[in-house]
Homo-oligomer: A and B are copies of this chain.
């Protein structure tokens, strides 16, 4: 019997307790012994839970219990999760977490502490919920040099964009629907401003390239400025708009990392990933493109990924699993202004045709897009690829000529 503790009894935490209880036989046959939930830490009361006798409000009941070898952290946020996780690892307990904020902010440090204390620190559920991605990247693709990762990493924003694309719903209505259906929180900022996707691409980039990438180093744009007009122009260009987290290895070993909405060709494997689903493409030098698809969030998908990590910890109570990256300095990250991209631009002017000619003289070769029902004076085009700094300068230049740029969205060459 292996005793575990679960810190947090919210959506994911209660799912972890449920799966360990309901899948007891399946888990027993996988690890050869029972996984026993000895303590559950939560400040709230759960008198009706079948595990009511295991609850505690005191972290000391977990850290001081030598029988507890594995601790699941599913509280979310970094306070007190960071402190608790650190203390568990220092005490030689293995930790499993679904907390992407924690891993993105403190992963390198916690992995180092785990290593020094011969414990495991696993976080499969922190990216892609129930989609296997951390372990496949770390183990199955170990004989590959990863050259690029691109993903739809946030289900909330993907649901909103899907409703805009397939049902012509505007952003506000789609957000409200997502909230009503439980796909978006009352305060949706972390999702719609791209912060959640940013944490996830940081974790994947750290794992793939071996140095911690902190979220504050990554240029991040959300989807709040996307309009139905943009969706229609994208459609006319055989594209869909998706919020993409992307990191690419450059020839000089720097990495180009960004979170932003992008126009994706409909032929891309990521274009058909709709609603609350997530999809992650990993481009290895040997495998080529491998794509992982599934529900990126939700109680049981996420909890089942947490429990799979618990099983791995049980199997590796003596030998550590190799999962590690070093701390980073940010020196290997290309400033986003230097990142080369083509951009879709929607603009307005008194005379659209004249303004389009101006845009041609400013940007060089551009591709004009059209849409049915365009307002008078509206026009849109796609530029050639160039460093983003040049795009910004050319937009300023164009605006100085009396053109108002309404939207600018990167082309995702995926």
- Cβ of A396 within 8 Å of any chain B Cβ, yes or no, is no
B residues within 8 A CB of A340? none
Which residues of the other chain, B, contact A124 by a CB distance below 8 angstroms?
140
Q: In the complex, which residues 286-316 of chain A have their Cβ closer than 8 Å to any Cβ of chain B? A: 286-295, 298, 300-301, 303-305, 307-308, 311-312, 315
Give 9 pairs: A residue, B residue, CB < 8 Å, sorted on A. A130-B290, A132-B136, A141-B308, A284-B304, A286-B300, A286-B303, A292-B292, A318-B319, A319-B319
Which residues of A, 247-269, contact B by the 8 Å Cβ criterion?
A: 269
Cβ 8 A contact of A139, one of B144, B303, B308: B308
How many copies of the polypeptide does the oligomer hold? 2
B residues within 8 A CB of A130? 284, 286-288, 290
Determine whether A374 belongs to the interface, using a CB cutoff of 8 Å to chain B.
Answer: no
Chain B residues near A311: list those with CB within 8 A.
Answer: 139, 142-143
Inter-chain contact B143/A132, CB cutoff 8 Å: no
User: In the bound complex, what is the Cα–Cα distance between A32 and B320 (angstroms)?
Assistant: 13
Contacts of A305 in B (CB 8 A): 140, 143, 287
- Whether B308 and A143, one on each chain, are in contact in the complex, defined by CB atoms closer than 8 angstroms, is yes
User: Please, which residues of chain B bring their CB within 8 A of the CB of A293?
Assistant: 269, 289-293
Whether the pair A142, B27 counts as a contact (CB closer than 8 A) is yes
B140 and A132 contacting across the interface, CB-CB below 8 Å: yes
**A114-159 interface (Cβ within 8 A of B):** 124, 130-132, 135-136, 139-145
Chain B nearest CB from A380 CB (Å) reads 27
Q: Which residue of B lies closest to A274 (CB)?
A: B267
Taking a contact as CB atoms closer than 8 A, the residue among B141, B287, B304, B318 that contacts A144 in the complex is B304
- Whether B143 contacts A136 by the Cβ 8 Å rule is no
CB nearest neighbor in B for A320: B315
Assuming the contacts A23-B145, A140-B136, A143-B23, asked whether A288 and B301 have C-beta atoms less than 8 A apart, the reply is yes
A26 / chain B contacts, CB cutoff of 8 Å: 142-143, 145
A30 beta carbon closer than 8 Å to chain B = yes
Whether A272 sits at the interface, judged by CB under 8 Å, is: yes
Whether a CB of chain B sits under 8 angstroms from the CB of A51 is: no
- The answer to whether the Cβ of A406 comes within 8 Å of any Cβ in the partner chain is no
Size of A's binding interface in residues, CB under 8 A: 51
Q: Which B residue's beta carbon lies closest to that of A315?
A: B322
Q: Which B residues are CB-close (under 8 A) to A352?
A: none
- Interface centre among A142, A312, A318, by most chain B C-beta atoms within 10 angstroms, is A142
Closest Cβ of chain B to A317, distance in Å, is 10
Contact between A286 and B315 (Cβ–Cβ < 8 Å)?
no
CA distance A363 to B293 in the complex (A): 38
A17 in the interface (beta carbon within 8 A): no
Q: Is A369 an interface residue (CB 8 A)?
A: no
CB distance from A277 to the nearest CB of B (A): 9
With a CB–CB cut-off of 8 A, which chain B residues contact A32?
322
**Is A19 among interface residues, defined by CB-CB distance under 8 A?**
yes
Q: Give bound CA distance, A30 to B210, whole Å.
A: 11
A32 (CB) vs chain B CBs: closest residue: B322
Chain B residues within an 8 Å CB radius of A292 = 290-293
Q: Which chain B residue has the least Cβ–Cβ distance from A319?
A: B319
| Given A132-B290, A286-B303, A287-B295, 11 new contacts (CB under 8 A) | A26-B142, A130-B286, A132-B132, A135-B135, A140-B308, A142-B308, A143-B307, A288-B301, A291-B291, A291-B292, A292-B292
Q: Are B284 and A288 in contact (CB under 8 A)?
A: no
Please give me the residue from chain B that is nearest to A281 by CB atom. B293
A301 touches B286 (CB 8 A): yes
Most chain B beta-carbon neighbours within 10 Å: one of A285, A294, A301, A312: A294
Chain B residues near A322: list those with CB within 8 A.
Answer: 30-32, 315
Indicate if the CB atoms of A295 and B303 lie closer than 8 Å: no
Asked whether A27 lies within 8 Å of B303 as measured between CB atoms, the reply is no
